[in-house]
């Protein structure tokens, strides 16, 4: 759970770790526990679910097209 930077309509955005590796997707509608907060899905669980339920054979996570450059 995080309190920033997600805002409404950011749900589904990628969330990366400090090395630029995918962690999961952002959900900005976490209502419990109060106060409302942002939540991050687990990319491993999300990808496994998609592989099992999408019907897309060979579904994988793609590498990014740009080098990771965190803004600090």
d(CA 26, CA 28): 6
**Domain, as residue range, for 25:** 14-53
> Does any domain span residue 65?
no
pLDDT at 29: 60
pLDDT, tens only, 50-71: 999 999 988 988 877 877 776 7
Overall domain count for the chain: 1
Q: Is the peptide bond before 35 cis (omega within 30 degrees of 0)?
A: yes
d(CA 12, CA 65): 19
> Does any domain span residue 3?
no
Contact 41, 24 (CB under 8 A): yes
pLDDT, tens only, 11-58: 788 888 878 788 888 876 655 555 666 778 888 898 899 999 999 988
Maximum Cα interatomic distance, the chain, rounded to a whole number of Å: 41
pLDDT at 19: 81
> Does any domain span residue 60?
no
């Amino acid at each position: 759970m995080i309190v920033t930077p997600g805002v409404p309509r950011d749900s589904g955005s990628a969330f990366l770790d400090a090395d630029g590796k995918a962690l999961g997707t952002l959900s900005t509608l976490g209502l419990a526990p109060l106060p409302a907060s942002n939540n991050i899905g687990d990319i491993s669980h999300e990808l496994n679910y998609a592989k099992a339920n999408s019907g897309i054979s060979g579904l994988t996570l793609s590498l990014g097209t740009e080098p990771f450059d965190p803004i600090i």
